[in-house]
Amino acid sequence: METNLVLEGTKFMFLGMGTVFVFLFIMIVATNIVSKVINRFFPEPVSIPKTETHEAHTQSAQDNKKIVAAITAAIMHHRRQG
């Protein structure tokens, strides 16, 4: 009884790779189905963008100026140190 080990190894390799391929294919299909079901019955709420009031815009601009001033001071301090 003579067995060809290369042929047997190749057979097991294709059997293993085929099993993994089928498993991954089933997993992808199942994931897509679950995703569609969840999106259908539990959709994400649509957020309405808030309009900035003039006061909020002014406050935001002041905050940005403070941030720019702090960064500029940090850079100047770093340059003096080095």
pLDDT in tens, 1-10: 677 999 999 9
Residue at 27: amino acid letter: M
* Torsion angles phi and psi, residue 53, rounded to 5: -80, 165
Predicted TM-score (pTM) of the model is: 0.50
Domain extents for the chain? 1-43, 53-82
Whole-number pLDDT of residue 62: 81
- For 9-61, what is each residue's pLDDT tens digit? 999 999 999 999 999 999 999 999 999 999 999 988 888 877 666 666 677 77
Give the whole-angstrom CA distance, residue 25 versus residue 30: 9
